[in-house]
Homo-oligomer: A and B are copies of this chain.
Amino acid sequence: MRNIKLKVTYDGSCFHGFQVQPGLTTIQGLLEEGIQALTGETVKVIGSGRTDAGVHALGQVVNFRTTSSIPIARWKPALNSRLPKEVRVIEAQEVPEEFHARYSAVAKSYRYLIVTEAPVNPVLDRYSWRIDKPLDRKAMQEAARLLIGRHDFAAFQTSGSSAQTTIRRVIRSELSLIQGVFPPAWGETTVLAYDITADGFLYNMVRNIVGWLVKVGEGTLDVAEAAKIFAAGDRSLVGKPAPACGLWLMEVQY
């Protein structure tokens, strides 16, 4: 059996998340159908993680096993010709038998986009969270830095998760401003980006962190209170997770 690794990018607004669900269009489902159409085999596509409905990916990684002899260079164009244009295979690679998109991952990076006080822009709103008031970026940055290192992230886990431990190591957690035109028909806009890299993520962790950061930015929580909530590990104190549409899976490291 060959083991094939794919790097995939998608616009999550068009699909019901990553994981196969009967009767719904999902990324995993589309990839499995595409591979089946190419090889005649029923394959199981393993993702680095499940992205929820509405979450986008710049660099999702998946793998699957096949007996097909299709040359490795053919997989990308052949699959892309069978996928909707909102899902694109960026690269295909043959990997050792033991490679597993989920268990072999050593780190993952997410970006969350927030737009404040920007002119009405329905396109940008598909890919970010619009908050119609100014945010205190300095306070948010301070709160974001609290997360760096090895900590218990139970406060940011939505229940229903099967994770055995809520300890994770966060390598990067910071805010920055991105200036640009999104899409190119609009004028210049400034977007607030929150970047987080960790050795693993709990269910809804990034969206819960962003909800908590925005409370700090709005002044509902000061940094000391935010730190207490994080330390207490009580999900109920964190508030609502940020909407899915602002979240981007940027990269998976192996």
Contacts and interface: CB of A to CB of B under 8 A. Distances in A.
Contacts of A123: 11, 56, 127
Nearest 4 A-B pairs (CB), nearest first? Answer: A180-B180, A180-B181, A184-B191, A185-B248
Contact of A125 (B85, B121, B122, B127): B85
Number of copies: 2
A128 B184 contact: yes
Given A87-B122, A127-B123, A184 B185 contact: no
Contact of A184 (B90, B122, B125, B180): B180
25 contacts: A9-B120, A9-B121, A11-B122, A11-B123, A56-B185, A58-B185, A85-B126, A86-B122, A88-B122, A111-B185, A113-B183, A113-B184, A113-B185, A123-B127, A127-B183, A127-B185, A128-B183, A180-B181, A180-B182, A180-B184, A181-B182, A182-B182, A184-B191, A184-B193, A185-B250
A178 B186 CA distance: 11
Nearest to A89: B120
Contacts of A11: 122-123, 126
A244 interface: no
Contacts of A121: 9
Interface in A205-254: 248, 250
Contacts of A56: 123, 185
A137 to B, nearest CB: 16
Given A56-B123, A90-B120, A182-B184, 11 more contacts: A11-B122, A85-B125, A87-B122, A128-B183, A181-B182, A182-B183, A183-B183, A184-B191, A185-B193, A185-B248, A185-B250
